[in-house]
Amino acid sequence: MGRAMFVLCYWWCMLVVLANGSIDLGVNWGNMATHPLPPKTVVQLLKDNGIRKVKLFDSDPKTLLALEGSGMEVMVAIPNLQLATMADSLVNAEDWVSENLLDFVDKVKIRQVAVGNEPFLKSYNGSFVEHTFPALRNIQKALDKANLGKQIKATVPLNADVYESSSSKPSDGNFRSDIKNLIIKIVKFLKDNGAPFVVNIYPFLSLYQDDNFPIEFAFFEHGAKSVDDKNYHYTNVLDANYDTLLWSLKKIGVDDIKIIIGEIGWPTDGNKHATTKDAQKFYDGLFKRLNENKGTPLQPSAKFDVYLFGLLDEDQKSIEPGFFERYWGIFRFDGKPKFPLDFTGKGQNKMPIGAKDVKYMEKKWCVLDTSIVNNKITWMVQKQTDLACRDGDCSSLTPGSSCSSISNISHASYAFNMYYQMRNQKKNACDFEGLGMIVDKNASQGQCLFPIMIDVGAGERFSFGFGGIIAAILTMFFTLM
């Protein structure tokens, strides 16, 4: 191919890419996994699938390094536990900016700093209420002082539980009374700085918390019973929720702040409503809705700006919200796609491109040696299974999950295997008082996948052992000195 052809293709291909990317779509890239993919692999995965924006939950330098030169728009974050420090003094905020951002601002398109993550969540009992706004102010001030205030905006991603409606109607929306005054201050501050209001919307949780929640309403299905509100008709939970926010903002005198949907998605395991099939249905509906290129009933000119939650499954997330919490990825933990979808909303579903050149550990599994127990579940088997589950991950065995229908005796094998894989296939992690047995035949059963973890290399491994504890003690010692 001649040079002219190449140039032609370059422009033509660019045009195709631009035309396809009509949805302003980002993803959340979380890292709470025992065996995370290398950051460079993840950046390639994003590029291969035409995703151009990411939202992070920290400011990990390895992640930012991998994003250098990618052209990706990035939202970095300050975890809730650091809010008090940032609120404490402007100097702390300045230190954070210089230690976390300055090395990267020239090569990574950092656009926002998320100050905390859903800090006013009801389940936090107000733990972060006091520090959030001062932290937000200090971080924005520190950005301004570093001459970054124009390009990088500080904001606070909030869960949609900061507002509620006394009926099912969006027009009855209002900010929660316990934090309303605080929200008024924050919104005014964001607006004055040209920063966006970031909100996380979870139709799945509505369904999870209330079995009577109209399921079609969550799935954008036509024929869903509509909610009529004044002259507006709502047929899906995204529009209804978004307008509940708009009404709540209206009531505090704000009707022109930029809104970003910081998280929206559907999990694929760990609950009867969390299946690959339901997730696909949800994303189909969501992408079609976004591709309509129209706003909401209340604000037809609204442009959706959306970050999916999330990119990858994360096996270290707390299961306190529910067993589904570890399965929010549109890709598995290893970057394998789970189901076909079409980000452009044209309904031409195909499997997304998976992560490339992933290095796995050996093809070895740990299972229950059924010959020892005569295929029976003895109290010993039960005890070892419980132990394996306690320190491993049995969320896929829970009712309604992908492995819930395998035989009881296979439950033990599943538990043993997860424990063993999460400990990097160490031989003694397959002992279980002599009940465990290492095999090289794939132990997966139908839908129930017995995974093999990513080989993350000795230095990177999640540490469960004494090494980690000793390191922690040493760090504490030196911090105190």
Ligand X SMILES: *[C@@H]1O[C@H](CO)[C@@H](O)[C@H](O)[C@H]1NC(C)=O
Residue number, 181 or 442, with CB nearest to ligand X: 442
Q: Rounded CA gap, 285 and 217, in Å?
A: 10
Residue number, 46 or 412, with CB nearest to ligand X: 412
Classify 392 as helix, strand or coil. Answer: coil
Q: State the minimum distance, in angstroms, from the CB of residue 459 to ligand X.
A: 24
Catalytic residue among 216, 263, 292, 325: 263
Catalytic residue among 99, 118, 130, 221: 118
Q: State the minimum distance, in angstroms, from the CB of residue 463 to ligand X.
A: 24
Q: Rounded CA gap, 186 and 201, in Å?
A: 19
Residue number, 152 or 452, with CB nearest to ligand X: 452
- Helices (H) and strands (E) counted in the chain, each on its own, are 15, 15
Q: State the minimum distance, in angstroms, from the CB of residue 377 to ligand X.
A: 6
Is 263 annotated in the active site?
A: yes
Residue 306 one-letter amino acid? V
Q: State the minimum distance, in angstroms, from the CB of residue 327 to ligand X.
A: 16
What token pair was written down for 76?
């970095």
Q: State the minimum distance, in angstroms, from the CB of residue 452 to ligand X.
A: 5
What token pair was written down for 244?
């509940």
Residue number, 95 or 455, with CB nearest to ligand X: 455
Q: State the minimum distance, in angstroms, from the CB of residue 123 to ligand X.
A: 6
Is 118 annotated in the active site?
A: yes
Burial class (CB in 10 A: 0-12, 13-18, 19+), 364: middle
Residue 383 one-letter amino acid? K
Q: Rounded CA gap, 39 and 471, in Å?
A: 24
Report helix angle 90-100 to 129-145, nearest 10: 60
Q: Which residues bind ligand X (CB under 6 A)?
A: 124-125, 127, 363, 408, 442, 444, 449, 452
Q: Is the preceding peptide bond at 322 cis, omega within 30 degrees of 0?
A: no
Residue number, 12 or 124, with CB nearest to ligand X: 124
Residue number, 297 or 451, with CB nearest to ligand X: 451
Kindly provide the residue ranges of all beta strands, DSSP E only, lying in 320-402, ordered along the sequence: 365-368
Q: State the minimum distance, in angstroms, from the CB of residue 18 to ligand X.
A: 36
Question: Partners of 53 in the beta sheet?
Answer: 26, 73
At CB < 8 A and 24+ separation, what contacts does 42-48 make?
A: 42/66, 42/311, 42/312, 42/335, 42/355, 43/67, 43/70, 43/72, 44/355, 44/356, 45/311, 45/331, 45/335, 45/353, 45/354, 45/355, 45/356, 46/70, 46/72, 46/311, 47/72, 48/353, 48/356
Residue number, 97 or 452, with CB nearest to ligand X: 452
Report helix angle 408-422 to 379-391, nearest 10: 40
Residues 6+ apart with CB under 8 A from 397: 389, 403, 404, 411, 414, 415
Residue number, 290 or 430, with CB nearest to ligand X: 430
Q: State the minimum distance, in angstroms, from the CB of residue 320 to ligand X.
A: 9
Q: Rounded CA gap, 340 and 284, in Å?
A: 9
What token pair was written down for 446?
């139908």
Q: State the minimum distance, in angstroms, from the CB of residue 466 to ligand X.
A: 29
Report helix angle 276-291 to 237-251, nearest 10: 60
Residue number, 215 or 449, with CB nearest to ligand X: 449
Catalytic machinery residues: 118, 263
